[in-house]
Amino acid sequence: MDPQAEHDTLNFFIDQALGASWPLFAIATIVFFMRSASRMFFTEGSIGWEDYIISLSWLLDLVRMVTFHLALVATKKVNAMDPNSLPSTVPTATFWSLFTDTWAFLSVTLPKVGVAFLLIRIFRPKAWLKTTILSVSIGLFAYCVVGFIISFVQCNPVAGQWDPYNYPNAKCWPRNVQIYYALVGSSTSAFLDIAFALYPGFVLWKLQMPLWKKLSTMAFMGLGVLAFAFAVVKVSSNTSLLGTPTLHQLYTNALHIGLWNSIENDFIIIAACLPSVRPLFKACKIFTGTQLSKSNNSKLMDSASTPSSQRSLQDRHSRHSGDEDMMELGLPKPPAAAVEKGRAIHVTHDITQQSHRMLFDGPVPAQNFN
């Protein structure tokens, strides 16, 4: 391909990448904030390790998205057919391309640690399986932290890696060393994507649930399959950096990897956040669908003191925090624990008070007895 055609192909890809990456990141961001609201305001369970890790993962994804945008914009200014412009355009484009691809070491693998904690919290696997899930996910993240460091120490001086014009005598490792290292990390990351997507299916299939509910819940938690598909494409793209590509080919291949990193990263964020969004949907449905008439409120007051109403509220107050985690996904409710008689009397008072409050002040979404 002649230089002009390579230049046109690169610029066309940059426009496509800008149009594809930002909308997907916006969707991932919306789902992340929905999850945060659900966990903080509509879930009784305490904040866990996965909540902190997923929040930090979104921040890393934000940095990756911004630096990917900078890499795309800077690369569009590079024109190999104008050698006089290269010293002023190549260093910036190369730095941001290197940084965004290397940062993905962290932003793509940290969410997997959060997903590992989430799976353990919800499904409570056996000790050996719990240890395996945590060890593999944390081990992969540690491996990628080392990879991030390696990316910036393979040249002396460091800036010689992206600015050969000001540092023509920089001594660097063979470029293939970093590429092979990245291939191992990307392949392991892809394996975890598919493993974490399929594991819930094996657990859910053994539960006593309607078939449609099993399939819908498995699909809800199985978005990691898509992340796996994108990860496989990314692994293939990494191999394109081997050899001695031209300047335009090098940028094109590096930005392709950046785009697949972007898509995989956002799908991992979405897959990690969606399982915990259900309480928010349920609360919104209650808030918009329970503007009760006076007759409905009267029916609620009449039924508040019935034994079934008392048992429902007793179940809610006596539920173990892990039980609610199971119910976030609509999984079968665990058997209710026995409740002492004195506690039942106290609960009756509480639900009566709540009924009067709903009558005069309207329904309170945070106090859902369903």
286-297 pLDDT, tens digit each: 655 554 444 455
Q: Where are the domains of the chain?
A: 3-280, 290-361
Q: Three-state SS for 106?
A: helix
User: Packing angle between helix 294-304 and helix 341-361, nearest 10 degrees?
Assistant: 170
The answer to whether the CB of 274 falls within 8 A of the CB of 220 is yes
**Given this model, what pLDDT does residue 47 score?**
82
Mean pLDDT of 45-63: 92
Q: Which residue has the tokens 């007759």?
A: 295
Which regions of 162-310 does DSSP assign to beta strands (E)? 171-172
pLDDT at 114 over 50: yes
| Nearest Cα residue to 264 out of 192, 369, 160 | 192
Mean pLDDT of 57-79: 96
Mean pLDDT of 246-253: 84
| Token pair belonging to 291 | 């503007």
**Given this model, what pLDDT does residue 355 score?**
39
pLDDT at 270 over 80: yes
**Given this model, what pLDDT does residue 339 score?**
42
pLDDT at 368 over 50: no
Which regions of the chain does DSSP assign to beta strands (E)? 155-156, 171-172
Q: What is the CATH number of domain 3-280?
A: 1.20.1070
**Given this model, what pLDDT does residue 330 score?**
55
Listed ranges 54-68, 174-188, 256-270; the one with the highest mean pLDDT: 54-68
For every residue of 279-307, DSSP letters joined together read HHHHHHHHHHH----HHHHHHHHHHHTSH
pLDDT at 236 over 60: yes
pLDDT per residue over 343-362, tens digit each? 444 444 444 444 343 333 44
Cα 72 to Cα 7, 17, 66, 367, distances in angstroms: 13, 8, 10, 48
**Given this model, what pLDDT does residue 63 score?**
97
The HSE-up count of residue 93 (CA atoms within 13 Å, CB side) is: 24
Q: Three-state SS for 171?
A: strand
Determine the residue type at 4: Q
**Given this model, what pLDDT does residue 205 score?**
79
Determine the residue type at 27: I
